[in-house]
Each structure stands twice: as C-alpha cells, then as structure tokens.
Amino acid sequence: MKPIYLDHAATSPLHPKALEAMMPYFSEHFGNPSSIHRFGRTTRHALDEARSSLAQSIGANPDELIFTSGGTEADNMAITGYVLKNKKKGNHIITTAIEHHAVLHTCKALEEQGFEVTYLPVDEKGIVSLAELKRHVRQETILVSIMYGNNEVGTIQPIEEIGAYLKEYDIAFHTDAVQAYGTIPLDVEQLSATFLSVSAHKINGPKGVGFLYAKKGYDLKPQFYGGEQERKRRAGTENVASIVGFAEAAKLAVAEIQEKQQRYLEFRERMITVFREEELEFSVNGHEVDVLPHVFNVSFKGVNVESLLVNLDLAGIAVSSGSACTAGSIEPSHVLTAMFNDSEKAKSAVRFSFGYGNTIEDIEKAAKETVQIVKRITSF
Ligand SMILES: Cc1ncc(COP(=O)(O)O)c(C=O)c1O
C-alpha cells in the first residue's frame, strides 16, 4: 500500500525541479563563489540570481537577505544578533508563548545573559492580542518577535497591525515566517518587518538552508566569525547547490499559492465532513479563518494520541502530534497548553499537514482510516 504523507509542516519532499536545478552544482559547477576565476564566477552568478529571486518573493532588496542553515539559524541570528548589537538601547524583548523553540530557547538563553523577556499569552484560538502587546511595550523594549503562522495549529497572527504599531515606536520587529512562506503572500514593507525568517525544506526545497531578511540599516552582531561572506554578516562558504534548489522551490511555491490555498482548504473541509458523517467527537484547534491552509490540528475526545499515531503509521499514514515525545512519555505541547485550560484537549491533538503530491483521494482515505482507528481505540 502506498503510504500517505501528511506531515508537510515537519518537512516536505524535495521538488523534482529543485533537485534538477541543484544537480550541476554538485558536479561541474563546484567553484567557490568567493574565487575570482571563472569557476568562482559561475557559482557567484548562480548565487546572485537565487538571492535576487528570493528577495523579490518578499519585496526585499537582494542585499537584505542573509543565507543561513535554515529557520533555526535565521531565528537565532535575528534575535541574538540584534539584541547583542543594541544592548545599550535597552534590555527588553517581547515574544509569545507559542513560538517555535528556535525563538523560545534563544530568548531563554538571553535571559541568562541579563535580558528581560515577556512571553505574551494567546487566546484559545492561538491569537496574540495587539492590546496586550501594547501593555507590555516599555522604554527598554528593543525587539519584538512574533511568528507569522503557527507550526502546530496554523493560527495566523495580526502581523501587519503589530508591525505598523512597532514601526511608530521604532522597535525592531522579527517574524518567523517559516510556515507561512510559500503558502501566504508576504511583503516585508507591508508587514513593516525588520527581520523575517524562512526555511527551504518546508516548501519542497532542500534541508539545511534558509534565509533571514534583515532590513537595511539594522545591524546584527555576527554569530560566526571567519570570512567576509554575506557582507560580513554570516561567515562560511555558501551552500550553493542548496541555495539554487531553494530559489527554484520558492519560485514554484509562490507561483502556486492561490491554487494551493484552495486545494488545502478543500482537504481540510473534506476531513471535517468525514469526521462529522462518522459522528466522531472532535474539535478543530486554531483559528477557523486566520489559519495556514496546510495545517489542520484536531483533538479527538478520549483518544490516546500515541496510540493513534502508531496505528495511523501502521496503516501507512504519517501525521504528527502536537506533543513532544520525551523518554517515552508524551508531554502536551507548549502551544496547545498556552491555548487551553483543558489539558485533555491538548493531550489528544493530532496535526495533519498537507503538501506537494497529496490528492483528495489520499485525504479521503486518511480521514476514513482515522475514523476507524479512533473508534477502535476508544471503544474500550
Ligand atoms: C515556525 C518554525 N520556525 C522555525 C523552524 C526551524 O526551521 P529549520 O528546521 O529550518 O531549522 C520550524 C521548523 O519546524 C518552524 O516550523
């Protein structure tokens, strides 16, 4: 039986066209882009092209992009790089309780270095309130980091309103757009973003590459020391093949945004219809409208999520839970815990995430299989 992959928010398959674009950079085009000879010039040209096209996809200038090893490094670079460079201006950072650990753990590490961090709460749909943010902004606030769309429940934050407010007060604004990029059109000017993180492997690009958009005039303390690559902002020979594959995947992802949105919302509706028809007791987590179309998080009443995941895997369906499995015990995720008082709901949540290659038939099959398993494991 053909397995059905519904875990695209964790990572996604490499698009064949991205792979094709990458191949020559593993063989004949191997030059170091910093070399001045023809071998170097060829890869420099490829790097420049990729940078321009990726910058265009978010309305940025090419020199505002810093290539990184992925979303984690981009988040670390924006937060640590900015606050260490600007600590004379203040020592207060604001973020939210539902960020990815690349942001949360970075903030925790900075607390140990004397920075103060406010973790904003969210409502039961996972939304941060602008009013709450305004209440916490103070003289010493130098950076706010709020994700665009959540990786577990898909909820989209009011980024444009937050950006406009922070711009007025001249406070730097970072948004982790790792899950939103390629599914939602993004424009850094419209969002008033100072920093924006993106990762290639969520959009059918290769793993281990991403970028940080850093607005001109906002300097960062480098996290690596070495050569002068990336305008002295990130030392190390560029991962040319992956960057070329990233740019190709991004072109395809951005060109298909409208079509994907429609398709994934249809998948979501189809699953809900099957669950309703089969009279499952379930609740959809996250916002109904302000949601990333590819992320669908559901709690099934009375379900042991570990057992559901194992049974789905045996049936060939790959999904993930909103929980981190540590040493055999499943802890409810920090995102769901921040959203709900009801720990049962947090403990019985499953994330289906859609992407390249999924068909409506796959979705129908996965939904029906889920129904059977849920009924089976809750019947005793
Ligand atoms: C919202 C978000 N931020 C950051 C990351 C980290 O990205 P990467 O895996 O490229 O380091 C992820 C990946 O799961 C993510 O979903």
Q: What CATH number does the domain containing 240 carry?
A: 3.40.640.10
Residue 250 sits in the same domain as residue 271: no
For residues 313 and 344, give the distance between their C-alpha atoms in angstroms, rounded to a whole number: 22
Q: Residue 377: inside a domain, yes or no?
A: no
3-state SS class at 355: coil
CA of 323 to the centre of ligand 1 (A): 16
CA of 16 to the centre of ligand 1 (A): 22
For residues 380 and 367, give the distance between their C-alpha atoms in angstroms, rounded to a whole number: 21
Q: Residue 70: inside a domain, yes or no?
A: yes
Instruction: Return per-residue pLDDT of the chain as tens, 380 residues.
Output: 789 999 999 999 999 999 999 999 999 999 999 999 999 999 999 999 999 999 999 999 999 999 999 999 999 999 999 999 999 999 999 999 999 999 999 999 999 999 999 999 999 999 999 999 999 999 999 999 999 999 999 999 999 999 999 999 999 999 999 999 999 999 999 999 999 999 999 999 999 999 999 999 999 999 999 999 999 999 999 999 999 999 999 999 999 999 999 999 999 999 999 999 999 999 999 999 999 999 999 999 999 999 999 999 999 999 998 666 555 556 789 999 999 987 888 899 999 999 999 999 999 999 999 999 999 999 76
Last residue of a domain, one of 255, 278, 309: 255
Ligand 1 near 147 CB (within 6 A):
yes
Q: List the residue whose alpha carbon is closest to atom 16 of ligand 1.
A: 151
For residues 365 and 203, give the distance between their C-alpha atoms in angstroms, rounded to a whole number: 24
Q: What CATH number does the domain containing 361 carry?
A: 3.90.1150.10
CA of 22 to the centre of ligand 1 (A): 22
- Residue 116's Cα: distance from chain center in Å? 25
DSSP letters of 213-258?
A: EE-TT-----SS-SS-HHHHTS-S---HHHHHHHHHHHHHHHHTHH
Known catalytic residue at 107: no
Residue 34 sits in the same domain as residue 94: yes
Ligand 1 near 71 CB (within 6 A):
yes
Last residue of a domain, one of 205, 224, 255: 255
Q: Residue 242: inside a domain, yes or no?
A: yes
Atom of ligand 1 nearest to the CA of 75: 4
Ligand 1 near 200 CB (within 6 A):
no
Total of domains in the chain: 2
Residue 77 sits in the same domain as residue 172: yes
Residue of 11, 98, 150, 151 best suited for mutating to test ligand 1, as the one with most atoms within 8 Å of CB: 151
Last residue of a domain, one of 255, 273, 304: 255
Residue 177 sits in the same domain as residue 264: no
Residue 340 sits in the same domain as residue 357: yes
Q: Residue 8: inside a domain, yes or no?
A: yes
CA of 325 to the centre of ligand 1 (A): 18
CA angle 189, 190, 192 (to 5 degrees): 60
Atom of ligand 1 nearest to the CA of 147: 1
Q: Residue 99: inside a domain, yes or no?
A: yes
**What tokens does 133 get?**
């943010």
Ligand 1 near 178 CB (within 6 A):
yes
Atom of ligand 1 nearest to the CA of 200: 10
Q: Residue 155: inside a domain, yes or no?
A: yes
Residue 98 sits in the same domain as residue 147: yes
Q: Is the whole-model pTM more than 0.85?
A: yes
What letter represents residue 100's amino acid?
A: H
What letter represents residue 297's amino acid?
A: N
Ligand 1 near 176 CB (within 6 A):
yes
Domain limits at 200? 16-255
Residue 209 sits in the same domain as residue 285: no
Ligand 1 near 83 CB (within 6 A):
no
Q: Residue 375: inside a domain, yes or no?
A: no
Ligand 1 near 72 CB (within 6 A):
yes
Ligand 1 near 179 CB (within 6 A):
yes
Q: Residue 353: inside a domain, yes or no?
A: yes
**What tokens does 289 get?**
């409208």
Q: What is the pLDDT of residues 239-295, one digit of tens each?
A: 999 999 999 999 999 999 999 999 999 999 999 999 999 999 999 999 999 999 999
Q: How many helices (H) and strands (E) does the chain have?
A: 14, 15
Residue 132 sits in the same domain as residue 144: yes
Residue 179 sits in the same domain as residue 261: no
Strands 349-353 and 320-321: antiparallel
Catalytic residue among 113, 325, 344, 360: 325
Residue 135 sits in the same domain as residue 278: no
Residue 208 sits in the same domain as residue 321: no
Residue 268 sits in the same domain as residue 182: no
